[in-house]
Amino acid sequence: MALMDHFPSNIGSLGNPGTNWPDRVEEPDYDALSGFAHLGRGWVDGLLDRIAPEVWGPDARWLETYCHANFTLAMRQDLLHVDPQMRFALWRVGSLATADGRPIYGYFVRNAGITPPPYFLVGFITLDDGILRYQVPGAVCELIRVDSPPVSPAHFVPPFPSLLPSTMWQHVLETRRERIAARLPKLPDYSLRYLITGAVGAAYRARSRAVPGLRRDGSYQWFLPIHITSAGPNDAPDFIAPVTIADDGQGHVIRTLLEPHMAYPLARAADADDGRIRTWRTRA
């Protein structure tokens, strides 16, 4: 039986929708992790203490985004390890590891109550020698061998757009005027349009710099780093242009411009490390 068969069909909509999604008005509410388990206060800090040092933004919000997005993929790909007796479950937390390279797993125990979610998040562990130390209150610790620990989800990124995305310029200007003016002050609209349109074209042609992003609902989008005031790819981009499918399903469009730090957690969620996007977090 597949993991999802154990739980309600609307599990992705259960629990709190979360508050730390970047540029929240532009992102979907989807929270499979909170629908699967009670998370408890400080759960992100508990993970932060276990993994190799990395910059994860204010209050480790980017790490929270990483977890939600990767859990959604793991569940959809049926990659959680569920104890045959349904006492506990294990989740490989993306590609995160300890400073000495040991994989990190989320450890859940079964919720014995009648109200959802079905599990509680106990914390984050390593499976040293493949052994899980299972214990419930009032019981003796039981050593359980996990012969096949869960693995990281696979990323199935859609092909890069074959044609230059259309920029919805009027919408971008009307909704993101302050954001644009902060980087490109005192320029008339026609100058902004030519500058940004040209920069989008340059970013599209330099497609090797495009980075996929993983959204909380498990879907992907491409990000184009937009350089206008900076010299080149090794500098922080001025904006990030998310590329999405047009409403009619024909072609791709750019509906908004994000500040780089807003796109960073989505891009980090889809990548094994932060090597290609490190400069995106400089103005967080």
Confidence of residue 7 (pLDDT cuts 50, 70, 90): very low
Rg (CA), the chain: 21
pTM for this prediction: 0.81
Q: What is the pLDDT of residue 283?
A: 61
Going edge to edge, which strands form the sheet with 37-38? 37-38, 119-125, 103-110, 88-97, 81-82
Longest dimension (CA), the chain: 72
Q: Any bridge partners for residue 50, and if so which?
A: none
- DSSP reduced 3-state for 182: helix
158's enclosing H/E stretch is none
Chain centroid to Cα 43, Å, comes to 16
**DSSP labels for 57-72?**
-GGGHHHHHHHHHHHH
- Assess whether pLDDT exceeds 90 at residue 28: no
277 and 77 in contact (C-beta within 8 Å)?
no
Q: What is the pLDDT of residue 18?
A: 32
Q: Give dist(CA 233, CA 256) in Å, integer.
A: 21
Assign 3-state DSSP to the chain and report helix, strand, coil percentages, each to 5.
30, 20, 45
In percent, the amount of the chain with pLDDT more than 70 equals 87
Report pLDDT digits (tens) over 190-244.
899 989 999 999 999 998 889 999 987 888 999 999 999 876 767 899 999 999 8
- Assess whether pLDDT exceeds 70 at residue 16: no
Residue 231, number of CB atoms within 10 A of its CB:
7
Average pLDDT estimate for 56-71: 93
Average pLDDT estimate for 37-44: 94
Q: Give dist(CA 164, CA 159) in Å, integer.
A: 13
Residue 81's φ and ψ, nearest 5 degrees, are -90, 115
